Amino acid sequence: MVRRKKRIILGFIAVLVMYNVPCAALKVYVTSVPKCGTHLLLRTLYFLTGFEVKWIHFPTRNDAEDKVLVNHMTFSKTSFLLKRKDCKGFFIYRDPRDMVVAYAFARLHVYKNLTLDEIILKLIEESIYTHVVLARARGIKAVYDLFLPWKNYSQFYTVRFEDLVGPQGGGSKEIQYETIKNMAQYLKIEVTDEQIDEIANEVFGGSVPGSLNTFRTGQIGSWKNYFNEQHKEAFKKIAGQLLIDLGYEKDLDW
């Protein structure tokens, strides 16, 4: 009964906001570095647009309108998504150290002969990622290099996991509010302060119609509980500058 009541409430939030969605047909695309808050972003977009979520193998010009279309798309400067005015894109990433830990836990059942510490080290240094799009990436920096160019194009709105997760995931309520508000403005959707508050209170965890729930803990800085000194040194060597460039560290003294 409680679950049914909550589904009704969440659906009501989406419908209320949906009435403010522009009448023009719209395709919303989402790409992300795997294990970087895709589910969090999808819930936010679902409540903002009311659109059904649909995972796709790759984007095409014939994709359905009024959908949130999801794929871990690596960057391509020839992508038609950079040219179409009827397309709105979103890209989400997080602290690469948290991404590594989340990915390691998600693949424990695959790497059965390795300990968690060994998996984390290999994800930092080597090419053992199971996602097809990451097959050619050797190490964590190479993984991020495949996606980060999306940040440089205005057709894609870039979201940091840390800015969207809110206090339930160790983030800021104020920054979460501003992030959701800015996402709505990018989509040209009018939302009230009350609607933003409702969305912010509901995006953490839960499910999204049309998408599998792979949510685990959704916490900022969880890498600190799992990185040992070997992990830290390997990460600093391979992707220390990446952390500085993304604003997660000021130097290598961490």
Q: Which domain holds residue 38?
A: 2-245
Per-residue pLDDT band for 5 (boundaries 50, 70, 90) equals very low
- More reliable by pLDDT, 76 or 10: 76
The pLDDT assigned to 53 comes to: 87
In a domain, 23, yes or no: yes
Number of compact structural domains in the chain? 1
In a domain, 13, yes or no: yes
For residues 181 and 201, is the Cβ–Cβ distance under 8 A? no
In a domain, 50, yes or no: yes
Burial of 63 (0-12, 13-18, 19+ CB in 10 A): middle
In a domain, 251, yes or no: no
Mean pLDDT score, 72-98: 86
Asked whether the predicted pLDDT for residue 12 surpasses 50, the reply is no
The pLDDT assigned to 216 comes to: 61
For residues 240 and 87, is the Cβ–Cβ distance under 8 A? no
User: Where would I find the H helices in the chain?
Assistant: 2-18, 38-49, 96-106, 116-125, 140-145, 161-164, 173-186, 193-202, 229-245
Averaged pLDDT score across all residues of the chain: 84
For residues 196 and 177, is the Cβ–Cβ distance under 8 A? yes
In a domain, 55, yes or no: yes
The pLDDT assigned to 65 comes to: 72
- Reported as half-sphere exposure (CB side, CA atoms, 13 A), residue 16 has a value of 14
The pLDDT assigned to 13 comes to: 47
Asked whether the predicted pLDDT for residue 133 surpasses 80, the reply is no
Q: What percent of the chain has pLDDT over 70?
A: 85
Per-residue pLDDT band for 176 (boundaries 50, 70, 90) equals very high
The three-class DSSP label of residue 49 is helix
Residue 226 makes CB contacts below 8 A (sequence gap 6+) with 101, 104, 116, 117, 120
pLDDT digits (tens, 9 = 90+) for 16-70: 444 454 435 678 999 999 999 999 999 999 999 988 888 887 777 777 677 888 8
In a domain, 253, yes or no: no
The pLDDT assigned to 15 comes to: 42
In a domain, 6, yes or no: yes
In a domain, 200, yes or no: yes
pLDDT digits (tens, 9 = 90+) for 193-249: 999 999 999 887 666 655 555 556 778 999 999 999 999 999 999 999 999 999 999
The pLDDT assigned to 179 comes to: 98
- More reliable by pLDDT, 11 or 75: 75
Per-residue pLDDT band for 173 (boundaries 50, 70, 90) equals very high
The pLDDT assigned to 193 comes to: 95
CATH code at position 112? 3.40.50.300
